[in-house]
Amino acid sequence: MWTDILEFFQKMGFMQMGADFMGVGWQQLVMLFVSFFLLYLAIKKQYEPLLLLPIAFGMLLTNLPGANMFHQELWSAFLDPSSPTYHSYGAILKEGGLLDVLYIGVKAGVYPCLIFIGVGAMTDFGPLIANPKSLLLGAAAQIGIFVTFLCANAMGFTEAEAGSIGIIGGADGPTSIFLTSKLAPHLLGPIAIAAYSYMALVPVIQPPIMRLLTTKEERAIKMKQLRAVSKTEKIIFPIMVSTIVALILPDAAPLIGCLMLGNLMKECGVVDRLSKTAQNELMNIVVIFLGLSVGATATGASFLNWQTLMILAMGIIAFGLGSGGGVLLAKLMNLFSKDKINPLIGSAGVSAVPMAARVSQQVGQEENPGNFLLMHAMGPNVAGVIGSAVAAGILLTMLG
């Protein structure tokens, strides 16, 4: 009986953490506190709670000693060509825990695409169709991705890692996860957390950059009302964009295809049940799976190192450059355009839908309370989603 009791005590998480405290024990303890802090931010401060809460809880579960819910070593063997279990999902299913099984969806690139179906079903591309020039602002905002790619290389990251870090500048969580799971899966935890943290901090990060790069008069510019967009245009748009983008850049097809499929379901009006499911049930289920499994990758050993700090630092640079790039291009377009553009809508070219567009609206109204920029900003905002998915496809083609 005493042996059983002793065995029970030895299996306790506290004992396991204490037994190897100087090894991985302290890292697990620190990560538990990090997860508590993120849970606090999600619940109390409501920073992207829908994603941050499952991510933080996944982080909590994976760092509980003895719980065996996620096995980093199994995934290291999965990626090692010399291992007998190289690219073997069977080994993961046989030996893995609950979070290992859920993580298969991330590794196979399924969750980000399913989320894009939901995003597409919730997006109105009308402002973009009405003002196609918005696409330029969406493209300019992607400069942060490529400049950060350059900087990350200079700081000693490999090209694949640098591409994954750069994509944070697209401010698009699913795209960041999709690309990182393909190019640098070992950095998935820090990159996903950086991407979602900065998306949540859009109202804090963007306004100072927007004010710095614009004059008071520019911020007060009133834009011409957008033309009406017919239903037929909205139905043909997703079919047309999917076809053109996939034919030019096949690697972007999974993301763009799913985004446009969701949008087509919404706009065609004949599959309301599917559209509502994509917007609600599907989206919510996948967000839970994605959040938990991404959080699970943030183990002490993979998270508590200098690389994570560098990724967080470069992520904010990428994000700032993207926001600034959009604003500056809008100013440049004003030099040649007859109809003036309010440069504030340029910062919405980073994805972060619809938060970035709302920030453009708020900053614009500070200068001119009668100015309504929201619909104008939605154009570059949804263009940013397309732009970051295209940038991910390009990086995947060149570095994958």
Partner 1 sequence: MTLLAINWPHVWFVTILGFALVLALLVVLIYVLKLFGVIMHPRVKVENPQEVHAAVGAPRKENSEHITLTGEATAAIAMALHLYYNGIHDEEPTQVTIKKVERKYSPWNSKLYGMNNLHRN
Residue 298 DSSP code: -
- 180 contacts partner 1 (rule: CB under 8 A): no
| Nearer CB in complex with partner 1: 128/191 | 128
| Nearer CB in complex with partner 1: 240/309 | 240
- 332 contacts partner 1 (rule: CB under 8 A): no
Residue 218 DSSP code: H
For residue 148, the one-letter residue type is: T
| Nearer CB in complex with partner 1: 62/142 | 142
Burial class of residue 113, CB neighbours in 10 A (0-12, 13-18, 19+): buried
- Choose one: 31-39, 186-194, 233-241, 264-272; the region binding partner 1 (CB under 8 A): 233-241
Contacting residues for 148 by C-beta, under 8 A, at least 6 apart = 162, 165, 166, 168, 169, 314, 315, 317, 318, 321
- Choose one: 102-110, 185-193, 195-203, 384-392; the region binding partner 1 (CB under 8 A): 384-392
| Nearer CB in complex with partner 1: 127/300 | 127
Contacting residues for 36 by C-beta, under 8 A, at least 6 apart = 56, 60
| Nearer CB in complex with partner 1: 105/120 | 120
The tokens 């409501």 sit on which residue? 46
- 377 contacts partner 1 (rule: CB under 8 A): no
- 383 contacts partner 1 (rule: CB under 8 A): yes
For residue 9, give both structure tokens. Answer: 């005590």
Helix runs in 20-142, H state only:
26-43, 49-62, 72-79, 89-95, 98-107, 110-122, 126-130, 134-140
- 390 contacts partner 1 (rule: CB under 8 A): yes
| Nearer CB in complex with partner 1: 105/138 | 138
What are residue 82's phi and psi, to 5 degrees?
A: -85, -5
| Nearer CB in complex with partner 1: 220/394 | 394
- Choose one: 185-193, 206-214, 236-244, 350-358; the region binding partner 1 (CB under 8 A): 236-244
Among 58, 112, 173, 387, binds partner 1 (CB under 8 A): 387
**Cα separation of 46 and 43, whole Å?**
5
Which residues from 238-297 bind partner 1, rule CB under 8 A? 240-241, 244-245, 248-249
- 143 contacts partner 1 (rule: CB under 8 A): yes
| Nearer CB in complex with partner 1: 22/154 | 154
- 146 contacts partner 1 (rule: CB under 8 A): yes
Residue 129: other Cβ atoms inside 10 A: 19
- Choose one: 11-19, 65-73, 184-192, 228-236; the region binding partner 1 (CB under 8 A): 228-236
For residue 92, give both structure tokens. Answer: 């993961």
- 337 contacts partner 1 (rule: CB under 8 A): no
**Cα separation of 149 and 169, whole Å?**
10
Q: Least distance to partner 1 from the beta carbon of 237, Å?
A: 8
Going by C-alpha positions, the residue among 296, 294, 302, 293 that lies closest to residue 24 is: 302
For residue 7, give both structure tokens. Answer: 């065995």
- 400 contacts partner 1 (rule: CB under 8 A): no
- 368 contacts partner 1 (rule: CB under 8 A): no
The residue length of the chain stands at 400
- Choose one: 57-65, 81-89, 231-239, 264-272; the region binding partner 1 (CB under 8 A): 231-239
Among 104, 201, 236, 239, binds partner 1 (CB under 8 A): 236
- Choose one: 98-106, 123-131, 188-196, 285-293; the region binding partner 1 (CB under 8 A): 123-131
**Cα separation of 165 and 153, whole Å?**
10
Q: How many residues form the binding site for partner 1 (CB under 8 A)?
A: 50
For residue 113, the one-letter residue type is: C
Stated as kind and residue range, the H or E segment containing 321 is: helix 306-336
- 395 contacts partner 1 (rule: CB under 8 A): yes
| Nearer CB in complex with partner 1: 51/321 | 321
The tokens 């309370």 sit on which residue? 369
CA 344, 345, 348, 350 torsion: positive or negative?
negative
**Cα separation of 325 and 331, whole Å?**
10
Q: Which residues are at the interface with partner 1 (CB under 8 A)? A: 128-130, 132-133, 135-136, 138-140, 142-143, 145-147, 149-150, 153-154, 156, 159, 162-163, 222, 224-225, 227-230, 232-233, 236-237, 240-241, 244-245, 248-249, 372, 383, 386-387, 390-391, 394-395, 398-399
